[in-house]
Amino acid sequence: IVLLCLTALIACQEKKKPINFPATDLAKANMIPMPLKTIPTNSAFALDKNTAIYTTESDNKFVDVGAFLSKKIKTKTDLDLPVNESRADNVERIIYINQADSEELAGNEAYQLYITRDSVIINAKTAEGAFRGIQTFRQIIPETSNDTLTDHKMWLVPTGKIMDNPNFGYRGSMLDVARHFFSVEDVKKYIDLLAYYKMNILHLHLTDDQGWRIEIKSWPKLTEVGGSTQVGGESGGFYTQEEYKDIVKYAAEHYITIVPEVDMPGHTNAASVSYPFLNGNGKTPKLYTGTEVGFSTFDANKDTVYAFIDDVIREITAISPGPYFHVGGDESHVTSKKDYVTFVNKVEKIVHKYGKRMIGWDEIVTADVDSNAIAQYWSSGKNAKLAVQKGMKVILSPANKAYLDMQYDTLSKFGLHWAGYVPVDTAYVWTPEEYDGIPLKNILGIEAPLWSETISTMEELEYLAFPRVIGFSELGWTPKENRNWDNYKIRLANQAPYLDRMNVKYYPSELIDWK
Ligand code: TNX
């Protein structure tokens, strides 16, 4: 009995004795995008079964952020962390997610993350900021637990302080669901991945010559006929409005805004096949499953065409809560210059009528667009300059850097190379802050578009998007002083376990020393 008591006593003291954690370095943790400021304190927060999450409860959105974190910790570690439960005896360490109004928390996406031995505190003005902050926390939870320091598993999170705020407010990617259709599930998986890297925009290219992918209730043939095929001639597909709403909701839960695009007046063959009165190229439209561009146009001189566009924009904006509507406007090679200007001017008014801000590919600046319109720079520096002269904002998507459909090299299985080959380093090593003489104040942000002429499955999509899109998250979030290829390359290599867990078939570029 004496012996038993003695052992119990020793065990008890053992428990109270602070554990000696191996030294950590928060500055070297696996964070992408790299935060604005990181101050390591070299100890560890032991994430384990005795950890609980508490959030500001007056705002439900903070509670949701807590629940999201708990769910993701469960996936990574199999720990079940309670959220806002009355304090149980076993709880030794706490993760707080707080609404805070400190002056240092400048923007909506800003957050502070304080990690000590006993607690993690995430402060943000808005739930959006808290959501960005928990992505950082997810990333710094080590892949493997320490099983020797105590009698149960502990994930040793490096301690320190992070102050973070994005460089650009618009950080996105685009999926072309028109050339090849991608399912709601595929889009949701892409959203999961974008959110982990703090992207906040998903632009959906919903229509093109080869397919119309969104239900328009007042014009049902758009999807019945125009949505029936895709590149290569297989059957296509489309989102019902309910499905689209489901995507929008899922994106919103990940603090991602959906930017819907209806590309016009060019890239409209699928619409014109469905309703031939729309057609302005003088030929009888037929379903198209090839990959040429620039052969179709709407008729810019018919009132009925604008009545049609009004219905389309009305129905889509009614289910798109974000501030933007993208009108395409690219490669309208068979629309006369005069018709193009007429067309864009009229469509801009419709976009405004439905309370949205117009985005278009850089060609739209050749019309009389409002300074409130946004030009998406993909090919023409001349158009970008014109945009600046007009006082417009620009989204940077230069094809030779930002196009995710460009092949990595001559051996790439998928993709095109009209803008060159874009290996992983080329995609990362450039400076959006100083691009082509565009003043910083005119740059809204960056977007990496993924065109889908050459890809038809999620696996193929992932091959082109990953790992390059991860680099874009850093280009959009992290100021140039904190970006460095040699350092990024190591952090990128360390994404492999996450990508594997997500079953992402990324392109294992030889430039990266994958873990
Ligand atoms: C150009 S970029 C296009 C798309 C193609 C893409 C292929 C742009 C605004 N237009 O229609 O899919 O190249 O890389």
The DSSP code sequence of 178-243 is: TTS---HHHHHHHHHHHHHTT--EEEEE-EETTEE-B--TT-THHHHTTTSB-TTS-B---B-HHH
What atom in ligand 1 is closest to the CA of residue 452? 12
In angstroms, how far is the first alpha carbon of the chain from the final one?
52
Q: Return the SS3 of 76.
A: helix
Q: Beta 374-377 vs 357-361: how paired, if at all? A: parallel
Q: Whose CA is nearest to atom 9 of ligand 1?
A: 330
pLDDT single digits (tens) 144-176? 999 999 999 999 999 999 999 999 999 999 999
**Which residues on adjacent β-strands are paired with residue 122?**
97, 113
Distance (Å) from CA 11 to ligand 1 centroid = 67
330 lines ligand 1 (CB under 6 A): yes
Nearest to 223, CA basis, from 192, 250, 244, 200: 244
Q: What is the per-residue pLDDT for 13?
A: 53
For 64, phi then psi, to 5°, come to -60, -40
> Could you tell me if 409 and 423 are in contact, meaning their C-beta atoms sit under 8 angstroms apart?
yes
Distance (Å) from CA 450 to ligand 1 centroid = 9
pLDDT single digits (tens) 89-139? 899 999 999 999 988 898 999 999 999 999 999 999 999 999 999 999 999
Helices 337-353, 303-318: inter-axial angle, 10-degree rounding? 40
Q: What is the per-residue pLDDT for 380?
A: 85
331 lines ligand 1 (CB under 6 A): yes
243 an active-site residue? no
Q: What is the per-residue pLDDT for 55?
A: 98
Match 């566009």 to its residue by tokens. 309
pLDDT single digits (tens) 331-385? 999 999 999 999 999 999 999 999 999 999 999 999 999 999 999 999 988 999 9
Ligand 1, residues 175, 331, 397: which to mutate, most atoms within 8 A of Cβ?
A: 331
CATH 3.20.20.80 domain extents, the chain:
170-501
Specify the CATH architecture of the domain 170-501.
Alpha-Beta Barrel (3.20)
Q: What is the per-residue pLDDT for 8?
A: 60
263 lines ligand 1 (CB under 6 A): no
pLDDT single digits (tens) 216-251? 999 999 999 999 999 999 999 999 999 999 999 999
Q: What is the per-residue pLDDT for 15?
A: 55
ipTM: 0.94
pLDDT single digits (tens) 286-311? 999 999 999 999 999 999 999 999 99
What are the Cα distances from residue 159, in Å, to 49, 121, 426? 19, 11, 33
Percent of the residues in the chain that have a pLDDT greater than 90, as a whole number:
94
SS3 content of the chain, % helix, strand, coil (to 5): 35, 20, 45
Q: Quick one: tokens of 264?
A: 């016009």
Ligand 1, residues 451, 453, 455, 464: which to mutate, most atoms within 8 A of Cβ?
A: 451
Residue 14 has pLDDT above 60, yes or no: no
Which of these is catalytic: 215, 331, 363, 474?
331
Q: Quick one: tokens of 34?
A: 């790299």
Residue 283 has pLDDT above 90, yes or no: yes
Q: What is the per-residue pLDDT for 1?
A: 60
pLDDT single digits (tens) 399-438? 999 999 999 999 999 999 999 999 999 999 999 999 999 9
Q: What is the per-residue pLDDT for 202?
A: 98
Q: Whose CA is nearest to atom 12 of ligand 1?
A: 451
Domain 18-164 in CATH 3.30.70.100: no
What contacts 456, CB < 8 A, 6 or more positions away? 180, 230, 231, 232, 234
CATH 3.30.379.10 domain extents, the chain:
18-164
Q: Please, which pLDDT band fits residue 16 given cuts at 50, 70 and 90?
A: low
Q: Please, which pLDDT band fits residue 5 given cuts at 50, 70 and 90?
A: low
The length of the chain in residues reads 515
For 255, phi then psi, to 5°, come to 50, 45
Mean pLDDT of the chain: 96
